[in-house]
Amino acid sequence: MATAKEFIDHVARVDGVAGCLLVRNDGILLGQTVDDPEMYSTLLVISANLAAEVMEKAGFSYCRHIGFNRQAKSHFYVFPIDKYLLGVVQSSDCHASEMLESVHRLISRVSTNRSTVSIDGS
Amino acid sequence: MKQMIDELKSIPGVVGACIYSARTGLKVNNLPGIFKPDRLTAVGKNLAKLCSAGRMSFDDLTDVSLHYDESVVVARELQKNLLVFVVCDPSFNQNLLTMSFNLLQEEVQESGVALDEFETQPKSQPAEAAPADGQVLSEEQLIGLFNEMKDLLGKVLGPMAGFIFDEMVEVWEQQGAADIGRIEGLIQLLNEEIADPEKIKHYRKLITPELKKYQKG
């Protein structure tokens, strides 16, 4: 069974990912490959909570991801995964939609337990 | 302002758009009726917080996008306290929308008009008129009232009062329109910071004449 660290390593290897981190929804950092993980962790938790509130108010069903789009093109994405939050920093020169699709594919493998990957935080 | 969001709605994949003010709430929208104004106000409030959080982390933040299963919500701060957001189909053209947001933002900035202030000023009354209950305070009146309340809070909380007051005003402004009808909400926030029942009572006694002055004119 893979650990959070191994999951992070999988995500970090996706083309177009400059760095990533995984936190629990209470903000506890489980693994990261970014500078300043504390700043990112806080943003992950705040943004996931706000996106959930928007979802409830607007009547949407499921939040796939949140994007913070930047002039420098190194956009930051938040992926809610059950009680975990994955943050991904995009490389400024990547094809965003392909990168996002790859990350979603990895997440879907984690969530459905179709692979050996299971985030247990250990 | 309506014309601005109608132009956004003409972009393929865009269902509709809204302009939201952190001070006065929902200003205009052209979304289908299924999106009720009170719900859109709540959405706008959360998006404003999301943009603020993003801006604190990234000083070059342009937009925030929320990708749900059936829709995407994209928000852009046009100026401080003024937000535009659109609801789109997942297949929308993000580049086109980004360019339209850029043009809209440029238009707002070049117009030199603080849209937020312009729209909230009651047109049928002189700007100097003191607001009655439920009306929106002008910037000048708001600052006047806040300065009085902040000074009086100093008599209760001492040197930290100014810092606490500013922080609570920020929270209060994010919760809805800056009108005298909502002033109890601000007082409630301040009371929570004061925390001592006796001091809360004392502060209430100190600010009551000031509040009456603004409410009665």
What does the DSSP assignment read for B106-137? Answer: HHHHHHT--HHHHHHS-TTS-TTSPPPTTPBP
Which of A60, A61, A72 is the closest to B60 by Cβ? A72
Chain B residues with CB under 8 Å of A72 CB are 60
Cα separation, B170 vs A103, in Å, equals 37
pLDDT single digits (tens) B17-72? 999 998 888 999 999 998 999 999 999 999 999 999 999 999 999 999 999 999 99
Mark residue B59 as left, alpha or beta (left: phi above 0; alpha: psi -120 to 50; beta: remaining): alpha
Ranges of chain A with pLDDT below 50: 1, 112-117, 122
pLDDT single digits (tens) A31-66? 999 988 999 999 999 999 999 999 999 999 899 999
Extract the tokens encoding B147: 């300065």
Question: How many Å lie between the alpha carbon of A35 and the closest alpha carbon of chain B?
Answer: 13
Cβ–Cβ of B66/A63 closer than 8 Å?
Answer: yes
Q: Where does the pLDDT of residue B217 fall: very low under 50, low under 70, confident under 90, or very high at 90 and above?
A: low
Kindly provide the ipTM of the predicted complex, given to two decimals.
0.90
